Amino acid sequence: MTSSRTARNTRSADRRRQLIDAAAALFVERGYPHVSVADIARRAGVSAPTLYRHFDDKQALLFAAVQTRVDDLEASTDAAGLDAANDPVEALTRAVTRLGICNPQATSLWRWSGQHLSVEQNREVVRRTRATLRRWAAAINTGRPGLTERESMYLAGAVLSVVGSAAGRAARTVPMHIEDELMNLIRRTTGLSPRDATPLPDPVGLGDTVRTRRDEILDAAAELFARNGFAGSGVDDIGAAVGITGPSVYKHFPSKNAILLAIGQRSANRLDALALAAFAAVPDARGRLNSLVDSYVHAITSSPDLVVALTSGYALAGDPHAGELVASQRRYVQRWATLLMEVDPARSIESARLAVHAALSIVNDAERMPRSTGRPEFAARVAYLMKGLLGV
């Protein structure tokens, strides 16, 4: 009797993990709102009633998927043996690199999931993740007694960003020695000293523009999307924030998706304008790349537009009007990669893109998890980390 009960429990646990893995993969591929319970059941090879025997709804599956990935993060850290390692930083580097390559969702699923979880669920994910980051920070601090706890946490967070952004992307598309490339980026990151950050220069002025009702709507929508998520903000909410009725918003935009697309286009246009200004003001590749870092940090810390584009872009999946926005974003990354190859001619284009995506993710992730963003040193320190990772 006991053995049969054990076998049933094992099958149930296996089925639960099967459903979690199927859900996580679909959420990453399509975006949470575009995945149904039926899709998850179909991917897992089970019926919907079978799925409901294990989970109440899709949101419960998302939380389980995120928690399971945090489990993986904790298990990888345990297996690294940081406390007993002769070189804790190298042990950490190898462990997180393996995890990022073999299980990229463990270091990336949390990025966009927060807006679909409850306050209590987010609090639990953050608590567990920060506990793991403190262990990473302690490893990084070994042999560097001059680092403060806050500086070590900056570095630990940057490592998570590097692994989470670069590994999943590279494992799918980059034909190179990804493990070596990624470990080198992590080693460079853990060797930095955030206290060495210098204040950012004043942002380049782009000239005054005439404010319109359309701009007011975009400003209000960006604030709401950043605070409540795209799905949690309605057109009536946007109208109320501007002082007009919901139906009046449709005089300016045909849909909520059109508002989101316009926010993304506005942020892309601003980044392009800042890049052109940097190219005009600075003659050399290293100086231009430094200016791009500064302008990007200024842009993402001074307006919610970029964060909204990053966290809510899934809603535009399949939108025929989103193609040019995606193309613009790719051209922007390519501009960084081209400059990095001019600074370091030994780099391949794949290596340069990997480094650029990793650098951008340091500030993108910090803005998604705004625990330190209010600190006066925040912008300077993340810019310093990005430049240090890029070697400029």
User: pLDDT value at position 170?
Assistant: 46
pLDDT at 310: 84
Q: Which pLDDT score is estimated for 3? A: 56
pLDDT at 102: 83
Is 364 in contact with 158 (CB distance < 8 Å)? no
Of 189, 137, 138, 180, which Cα lies nearest the Cα of 162? Answer: 189
Q: What's the confidence (pLDDT) of residue 371?
A: 58
Identify the residue whose tokens are 């500064």. Answer: 294
Instruction: Report pLDDT digits (tens) over 306-353.
Output: 989 888 887 787 788 888 888 999 999 999 999 999 999 999 999 999
pLDDT of amino acid 10: 63
What pLDDT is attached to residue 312? Answer: 83
Res 383: pLDDT: 97
Provide the token pair at 247: 């139906």
Put simply, whether the predicted model's pTM sits higher than 0.85 gets the answer yes
Residue numbers in the chain where pLDDT is lower than 70: 1-10, 166-176, 205-209, 370-374
User: What is the pLDDT, as a whole number, of residue 372?
Assistant: 56
Structure confidence at residue 171 (pLDDT):
46
Do 85 and 91 touch, CB atoms closer than 8 A?
yes
Q: CB–CB of 195/151 below 8 Å?
A: yes
Environment class of 282 (CB within 10 Å of its CB; exposed 0-12, middle 13-18, buried 19+): middle
Of the candidates 70, 68, 76, 72, the residue with the CA atom closest to the CA atom of residue 95: 76
For position 326, what pLDDT does the model report?
Answer: 87
pLDDT of residue 349: 93
What pLDDT score does 376 carry?
A: 79
